[in-house]
Structure 1
Amino acid sequence: MSVPESDDLQQWRRLALGVLRKSGLAGEDAAPEDVEALLSTETYDGLRIAPLYTAADVAPPAGVPGQVPFVRGGSAAARPWDVRQRHADPDAKATRAAILDDLENGATSLWLAGIAPADLAEALDGVLLDLAAVVLDNGPDTLAAARAFLALPGEGKTGNLGADPLGLQARTGQPADLAVLGTLAKESPVPVATIDATVYHDAGAGDAQEVGYATATGVAYLRELVAAGLSAGMALRQLEFRFAATADQFTTIAKLRAARRIWSRVAQVCEVPHLGAQRQHAVTSDAMMTARDPWTNLLRTTVACFAAGTGGADAVTVQPFDARLGLPDGFSRRIARNTQTLLVEESGVARVLDPAGGSWYVESLTDALAHAAWDVFNEVERAGGMAAVLRSGLVEDRIGAVRLRREDDIAHRRQPITGVSEFPDLAERRPVRAPAPLPPSGGLPRLSYGESFERLRDAADAASTPPVVRLVALGSPAAHSARVSFAGNLFAAGGVRLADEPSTVACICGSDRSYAEEAADVAARLKAEGVRTVWLAGKPGEHAGVDAYLYSGCDALDVLRRAHRDLGVAP
C-alpha cells in the first residue's frame, strides 16, 4: 500500500534544496524531488541510507518478540542482557583474581580467551559454575580445553565450549577440523559451538558480509552436527553467534535484528521454526579501538554497548578502554562492567523489548541488511560452503574490496577517528599496560581503523628532534585562524606540530584573497631562507613556489607521509 506524500515532506524538500543550493551542493536546475538523492549515503555493503524516512518506507512485518521470525528478539519478556567479561591473561593466578572481582561486581558470565587447558581449574577456582556461565575460546586447543572444563567438579555447568573450526581457519589459514563439533556434542551437556563473526569484521568486512559469513558458518556446523547424529533441533541448540558492535549505533541495531531474521529462515528450512531464536553475543568492535587517546574508547564502547542492548543481544562484552595497549588493569575492567550496569540499571535500556522497533529507518535498514546478507550467504553456498570459500580466497577478495574503500575513507577523513585522525592530543600521557598475548595470524588480516595514523605518531615520537612545520599566517587572525586550526589539526594527526618556528617545511595559512596577493612572494622568500617544501592550506591552485596543498577531503595520510619524509622522520 502506497502512502501519499505529506505537505510537510514537500516543504522539507523545498527548504533543504535551498540550503543545498547555497552550499553549492545543488545546482539551480535541481528539483525538490532530487533532495533525497543528493543527501543519501551508501554503506560499505552498497545499501542506500536516505536522509529521511517516512511511513512510505515499507518493510516486512517484524513480528512480535519471542516469536518467528525473532526479528524483535528471542524472548517475549524484557530482561537484562548477560554482562560477559573477557579474560585473556595467561597467568592463571592473576586471571582467577580478576574473574572473582568481576563476578562480585556486576559481571554475570565469563569469556576465557586463550587460557591454557591445564590452567582452567586454577583460573576458575571459587567460581560457582552453575551460576556463572563460561564461554571458552581456545582455538587449536578447543578439544583439550573443553574436556578440562567439563572435568571440573560441579553440576549444572552453563556457557559454551567455543568450538569454531571455520573461524580458526579464517584467522590462521589452517584447514578446519569440523569433526570436533560432533565429538564434543556427544560428550557435553553444554552447547559446543561459537560462530565468531568478528574475524570478518576485524578484517574490514561490511555488516552484511559479517552476517552472511556467520550464517554460512552456522549452516556448515548444523550439517556437521546432524551428520554426527543430532537432530536439527538439538544441533540448533548447540550454537551461539558472536557479532561486533560498533559506534555506528543504528547499523549495529539493524545488524543484530537482520541476523535473527535470517537465522529464523534457516530454522524454518530445517523444519524447526520454533527453535530459530539465534543466541547472540555482541562484543564492542576491536577494529574501532585506538591506542592513541585511549580514553576516547570509553565513548565508543558506550555507544556500541547501547546499540547491542537495543538491538537485542543476549550477552554483551564491552572491551576495556585500554585494550589496544595490552592487558587491561582492574580499573579499566571495572569501567567496562559499569558501562553495562549503568545502561541496564540506570538508563533502563533493558526494560523495553526492541525499543528501536517500529522506526521507519531501523525497519528499512534491517530489511535491506537482511537481503544483502542473504545474498552473501547464497554466494557462499553456491561456491561450495564456508570452508571452500575460505580456501579459495573468495572471502578475502570480497572483504578486501570493502577494506580498500574503508581505508580510503579513513585516509581522506571521510570516516574520522576522534583523537587520532581528528583532534589528536600531542601532549597525551597514555597509561602503560603489560603486553597482551598476540592474536592468531596467518589468515585474514586484522584491521585497526586508526593504525596508519598511529604508526605515524609513533615515528614522530621516536624522532630525535620533534618534527615541526613552520606556520606562516597571512593577514589578521580573523582571516587565517580557520585554516591555521585545520592545518594544525591535520599535521598533529601525524605527530607534527604547526608552529611559528624555523623548519625546512612551511605551511602558508590565510584567506583566498591573501593567497592571490601574497602567496607567490611568501613562497619565494621561504625558499630563499632554506625551506625545501611549502604547503598551502586551501584548494589546489596556481601559486608559484607552492609545492603542495592541504584541504578538506585531501588524502591526509599522503600529506603526513610526505611531511615526514621532508622532515627526515624515519618510517
Structure 2
Amino acid sequence: MTTEPLTSPAATAFADDFATATREDWLKAAEAALKGRPLEPVIRRRTMDGVTVNALLERVTPRVVAGRPAGGRWTAMTVIDIADPEAANAQALEDLNNGASGLSLKLAGPGETHGLVADTLDRLDRALDGVLLDLAPLHLELPAFHGRATAALVTALVERRKLDPASVFVLFGADLLRDLARTGALPRSWEAMCARLAGAIAGMRRRGFTSPVLSVDARQHHGAGATDAQELGAALGSATQQVRGLVAAGLPLETAADAVSFAFACDAEQFTTIAKLRAARLLWAAWRREAGLPEAPVHIHAETSRRMLTRRDAHTNMVRSTIAAFAAGVGGADSIVVLPFTDALGGINADARRIARNAQAIILEETNAHRVADPAAGAGAIEAYTDDLAEAGWAAFREVEAEGGFLAALANGSWQDRLMESRAAREAAVAKRSVPIVGVSEFPQADEAPIALDPRPAVEASPSRRPLAGPVGEDEAGYDALVAAALDGASLADLAAATATAPTLTVRPCDTERLAAGFERLRAENEAATPRPGVFLALLGPIARHSARAGFIRNLTVAGGLKPVDGPILGSADDVAEAFAQSGLKLAVLCGSDDGYAEEGAALAKALAARGAAVWLAGRPKEGREALEAAGVARFVAAGDDMLTTLKEASAASAGGAR
C-alpha cells in the first residue's frame, strides 16, 4: 500500500477543498446523510434553561479561559470508601500503583458504617500508610458539618509526618451550604459556622497550607434536579454567601476567595459538560473582577454524575461514565473521579473499581486530550454554548441574590421549588422516553444476572478517647486546640463534642434522585410480586406486519417488570382469545399494523374482551379508532406517551396475575 506524500498535488487539492468548504456545503452533506429526515432537529435544540444549542457553527477565534490549566494532566482520583483503614490502605496503594494519581476519601461520620472510618489520627495514618501525600493529592468527602474537625485531623497527620504543608494538596471539602441543603438543619448560627470555618482557614494558612479549604459543591443540586444553569448559579451563589460570611468573620476578601474550589457533576451529555466547566471558570473570573480581585486559578473537581447511573443493566454505566470523564477532562477539570459502575447498587466490587480507574488511564494515555491547552477552543458550537450557559448561570445567580442570597433562598424554600420544577420537567422527559435511558427505559434486559458486590464489613467508630477539657472557640485558637487534641489521640467524636451545637435554622432538604429510579422501582415491585403480573401480546398478521409494535410492547413491559407473553401467530380471533384465557393474564395488547387493525382489530378486541381481557392497542391508527373502541379497546399506547404512567396503569390492569 502506498501513501500520497502530503506535498503531492492530490493532497494539496484535497486540503484546499476541505479548507474552502462553506456552511452551505456542510448543510448539504448533512442533509444527504440523513436521507430525507429533517435536519433542523438534529443540529439545533433548546435546553431546559432556554439555551439554544446549534451544532453547526463556524469556527471562531480561540480565546483563553481564565484560570484553566494549559496542557496539564488532570488528577485521576479513585474513590476509597472501605470502612476498615487497613483494607482501605491496600486499595489505595493498588489504585496508585495502577494508574491513579490521587485519592478521593469518602469518610464515615460518627455512627456511620458506609465510608472510610478514619476518625482518629492513628486510623487516618493507617489508611494512608505508604501514600506520599506530597505526590498524591487528596479529595475529602466529609460527613455533614465536619469540615473543621476533619481538617484538624489531616493537619495533625501532616505535622506527624513532618511534611511541608505547602507541598501537600488536599481538597478539604468544607461546604456549609451543601451540608445545610443535604441535612436540612444548621448546627449553629450562620455567623458562628462561618467564624468556625474562618478560624480553620486562618490556622491552616498560618501553618503554610495553600490548598482550597472551601469546596463549593454543586453536585448536591445536580442530584436534586438542577439544570446546568442552576448548577452554575448555585455554585456562584453559594460561594458568594460563604465568602461574605468568612469576610464578616475577619478573613481578608482575597484570602476567603482564594480558599474556594468548586465541585461539579459531569454526565454523559458530552458537549454540555464541556461547556458547563468552561462556563464555570468564566463566571468565577467575572466574579473576581466584580469583587476587585486579580485573576487567579481556581480548582475544579469533577465527579461522574450519580444522577445518570442505573441499577438495571449497570454495565451501561461504564459507557456513560467514560463519556462524562472525557468531557470533564476536555472541559478543563483539575481532578476527576469516575464512580464505579456499580455505585447505584449501593456497593462496589474489585472489577468495578479497576474499570473506573482504567477509564481515566485510557482517556489520558490514548486521547492525549490533556496535552492540549483547551481542546474546545475555537469550536463555534461549544464556544457559543459556553457563553450562553454562562449567561444563563449568571442570571440564575442574580435571581438568588435578588432574594437576599443563597442562604435566604434555601431558608424560604424558593431554591428547592426551582429544583423540584426542573426535576419534574426532566422526569416527564424520562417518562416519555424523549430522554431515553439505555438498559432501563429503552432496551432493558429481560433476565438480568445480578452483580456480585463486595461485602461491607462494619467498623466500629471510635468512642470518646480524649475528651477535650471544655468547649473550644470558633476562632483560630479553637482550631489550634482541635489539632492539638487530634495529635493527642482525640477521636472525631471528641472533636465534634468540643464544638457545641445549637440549631438555629431548618430548611427543606434538597433530596437527590437518580433519573432511572422511577422505572427501576416499578420494575422491582412487579418482579417481586407473586404471581408476577404479565401482558399478553395479541399478534395480528404475519411477523413482518406485527414485529415492530410487538417489539415496542415487549421492551416496554420488560422496562416495567411485566412479563410479556406472545400469543399465536396467524391465529384466528378465537384461537388468540383462547390462548389469552389459557395464559391466566388480565391485560392483552393488540400488536399489528394500521392495515391489520382495520381488517382484524375490532374482531380480535371483541373476542378478547369476551374472555375478560382489558384490551389495549399498540399504536395510534389514523382510521377506525371508533370501531376499535366500540369493540373494547380501552387504551392506545404509542411513542411519546408518558410510559411510566402507562406502565403503572398496566400494572394495575394486570394486578393479581393468574385469575
With structure 1 as the length reference, what TM-score do the two structures score? 0.89
In the other structure, the counterpart of 2:591 is 509
In the other structure, the counterpart of 1:407 is 427
Distance 1:365 1:38 in 2: 16
In the other structure, the counterpart of 2:498 is none
State the Cα distance separating 1:363 from its structure 2 match.
0.5
**Higher deviation after alignment, 496-505 or 320-329:** 496-505
The answer to whether the aligner puts 1:63 opposite 2:71 as a matched pair is no
Distance 2:640 2:518 in 1: 17
Distance 2:154 2:57 in 1: 50
**Higher deviation after alignment, 162-171 or 536-545:** 536-545
Distance 1:7 1:313 in 2: 34
In the other structure, the counterpart of 1:206 is 227
Q: Which amino acid aligns with 1:180?
A: R
Distance 1:229 1:345 in 2: 45
State the Cα distance separating 1:197 from its structure 2 match.
0.4
In the other structure, the counterpart of 2:283 is 262
State the Cα distance separating 1:180 from its structure 2 match.
2.9
Give 3-state SS (helix, strand or coil) of 1:403's partner: helix
Q: 1:401 to 1:148 in 2, by over 3 A?
A: same
Distance 1:43 1:249 in 2: 14
The answer to whether the aligner puts 1:359 opposite 2:379 as a matched pair is yes
Q: Which amino acid aligns with 2:235?
A: A
Q: Check the 8 A contact 1:411/1:556 in 2, yes or no.
A: yes
| Structure 2 counterparts to residues 265-280 of structure 1, below 5 A | 265-275=286-296, 277-280=297-300
Distance 2:84 2:33 in 1: 63
Q: 1:15 to 1:225 in 2, by over 3 A?
A: closer
In the other structure, the counterpart of 1:31 is none
State the Cα distance separating 1:53 from its structure 2 match.
2.2
Q: 1:396 to 1:495 in 2, by over 3 A?
A: same
Q: Check the 8 A contact 1:472/1:509 in 2, yes or no.
A: yes
Q: Check the 8 A contact 1:325/1:432 in 2, yes or no.
A: no
In the other structure, the counterpart of 1:500 is 566
State the Cα distance separating 1:50 from its structure 2 match.
3.0
In the other structure, the counterpart of 2:501 is none
Q: 1:554 to 1:236 in 2, by over 3 A?
A: same
Q: 1:7 to 1:333 in 2, by over 3 A?
A: closer
State the Cα distance separating 1:289 from its structure 2 match.
0.3
Q: Deviations over 1:185-234 (max 9, x none)?
A: 02212431111100110011100100111011112232233334443333
Q: Deviations over 1:214-259 (max 9, x none)?
A: 0111122322333344433332331210001000000000000000
Give 3-state SS (helix, strand or coil) of 2:295's partner: helix
The answer to whether the aligner puts 1:86 opposite 2:106 as a matched pair is no
RCO higher in structure (CA 8 A, sep ≥6): 2
Q: Which amino acid aligns with 1:386?
A: F
Give 3-state SS (helix, strand or coil) of 2:617's partner: strand
Q: 1:131 to 1:10 in 2, by over 3 A?
A: closer
In the other structure, the counterpart of 2:172 is 161
Q: Which amino acid aligns with 1:74?
A: R
In the other structure, the counterpart of 2:649 is 562
In the other structure, the counterpart of 1:28 is none
State the Cα distance separating 1:272 from its structure 2 match.
2.7
Q: Check the 8 A contact 2:63/2:377 in 1, yes or no.
A: no
Q: 1:326 to 1:93 in 2, by over 3 A?
A: farther
State the Cα distance separating 1:356 from its structure 2 match.
1.3
Give 3-state SS (helix, strand or coil) of 2:138's partner: strand
Q: 1:283 to 1:18 in 2, by over 3 A?
A: closer
In the other structure, the counterpart of 1:323 is 343
State the Cα distance separating 1:516 from its structure 2 match.
1.1
The answer to whether the aligner puts 1:385 opposite 2:405 as a matched pair is yes
In the other structure, the counterpart of 2:91 is 98
Q: Deviations over 1:435-489 (max 9, x none)?
A: 699xxx9610212000010011111221223332111111111111111111111
The answer to whether the aligner puts 1:75 opposite 2:75 as a matched pair is no
Q: Which amino acid aligns with 2:125?
A: A
Give 3-state SS (helix, strand or coil) of 1:449's partner: coil
In the other structure, the counterpart of 2:145 is 140
Q: Which structure 1 segments of 5+ residues have no match?
A: 1-5, 26-34
Q: Which structure 2 segments of 5+ residues have no match?
A: 1-20, 109-116, 459-506, 568-582
Q: Check the 8 A contact 2:261/2:299 in 1, yes or no.
A: yes
| Structure 2 counterparts to residues 304-453 of structure 1, below 5 A | 304-433=324-453, 434=455, 443-453=509-519
State the Cα distance separating 1:10 from its structure 2 match.
8.7
What is the aligned-residue RMSD (CA, Å)?
A: 2.6
From 192, 195, 206, the counterpart of 1:179: 195
**Higher deviation after alignment, 134-143 or 468-477:** 134-143
**Higher deviation after alignment, 339-348 or 88-97:** 88-97
The answer to whether the aligner puts 1:114 opposite 2:107 as a matched pair is yes
Q: Which amino acid aligns with 1:215?
A: L
In the other structure, the counterpart of 1:551 is 638
Distance 1:456 1:159 in 2: 42
Question: Percent of pairs identical after alignment?
Answer: 40
Q: Check the 8 A contact 2:23/2:58 in 1, yes or no.
A: no
In the other structure, the counterpart of 1:30 is none
Q: Deviations over 1:17-62 (max 9, x none)?
A: 9989x76x7xxxxxxxxx758974211111112353235xx7xx76
Q: Check the 8 A contact 2:77/2:335 in 1, yes or no.
A: yes
Q: Check the 8 A contact 1:456/1:495 in 2, yes or no.
A: yes
| Structure 2 counterparts to residues 39-58 of structure 1, below 5 A | 40-50=44-54, 52-54=56-58
**Higher deviation after alignment, 138-147 or 252-261:** 138-147
| Structure 2 counterparts to residues 285-300 of structure 1, below 5 A | 285-300=305-320
Q: Check the 8 A contact 1:163/1:180 in 2, yes or no.
A: no
Q: Check the 8 A contact 2:219/2:264 in 1, yes or no.
A: yes
Q: 1:512 to 1:18 in 2, by over 3 A?
A: farther
Equivalent residue pairs, number? 539
Q: Deviations over 1:529-551 (max 9, x none)?
A: 232x1111101633131111111
Distance 2:322 2:224 in 1: 23
Q: Check the 8 A contact 2:79/2:106 in 1, yes or no.
A: yes
Whichever of the two has the greater Rg, that structure is 2
Q: 1:424 to 1:38 in 2, by over 3 A?
A: closer
Distance 1:222 1:383 in 2: 17
State the Cα distance separating 1:407 from its structure 2 match.
0.6
